[in-house]
A and B are shown apart, each in its own frame.
Chain A
Amino acid sequence: DAGVIQSPRHEVTEMGQEVTLRCKPISGHNSLFWYRQTMMRGLELLIYFNNNVPIDDSGMPEDRFSAKMPNASFSTLKIQPSEPRDSAVYFCAGFSGANVLTFGAGSRLTVL
């Protein structure tokens, strides 16, 4: 089991550009979570999916953010257009069994 895999690990982009973050969850489990971590706001839940369906997206900051899970093995988080205040570490997580949430290593986004 390779765990939760995220890409890219680091992304530096300019304001206004589109950013796509990718996540490959643990196989065999149907829930997937996207979190954002910043110094100011800590760890925020952005959206979570169950059986590829978005269950709660109330944490998505605004319309510039969108997330998809086209199948059980892949999810994307897109920001368009990006802004400097979107700079953060974005984590993807999924259940690995017995209610244990397993995190990916994170994608560090810097928007200049």
Chain B
Amino acid sequence: AQSVTQLDSQVPVFEEAPVELRCNYSSSVSVYLFWYVQYPNQGLQLLLKYLSGSTLVKGINGFEAEFNKSQTSFHLRKPSVHISDTAEYFCAVSGTSYDKVIFGPGTSLSVIP
């Protein structure tokens, strides 16, 4: 069975500072990895995904993530955050193509002016 851990439940960061949101997963098979963002009172939107190939994945809004198989991690980074990045961020994993997607508990990112 797959599972996802997001160690930081809340991350406050000043505007224009860099941020890293941590994600670790466990799985006995090859995985697909995702980061989703949820703005207040909305559904989840895909930020980026890793299916195969380059371990550095670039997504929307200037976010990127790096897949590290040996550390079973998929941390999300942004070099300079904006107020509009304030949201809940979810890391997710699935085992195969079009398989069920399991989400982590989420990290609340608060950008401070």
Question: Taking A99-B32, A105-B42 as contacts, is the C-beta distance between A43 and B100 under 8 angstroms?
Answer: no
Interface size band for B? 20 to 34
Question: Taking A99-B49, A99-B94 as contacts, is the C-beta distance between A45 and B43 under 8 angstroms?
Answer: no
Chain B contact residues, majority secondary structure: strand
Separation of A106 and B42 alpha carbons in the complex (Å): 7
Instruction: Determine the chain B residues whose CB is within 8 A of the CB of A4 once the complex forms.
Output: 43
Chain A contact residues, majority secondary structure: strand
Separation of A102 and B43 alpha carbons in the complex (Å): 9
Question: Taking A42-B105, A42-B106, A48-B100 as contacts, is the C-beta distance between A101 and B43 under 8 angstroms?
Answer: no
Q: Is B102 an interface residue (CB 8 A)?
A: yes
A:50-66 near B, CB below 8 Å: 50, 55-56
User: Does B101 lie within 8 Å of A101, measured CB to CB?
Assistant: yes
**A contacts, CB < 8 Å to B:** 4, 31, 33, 35, 42-43, 45, 48, 50, 55-56, 91, 93, 95, 98-106
**B contacts, CB < 8 Å to A:** 32, 34, 36, 42-46, 49, 51, 90, 92, 94, 97-98, 100-106
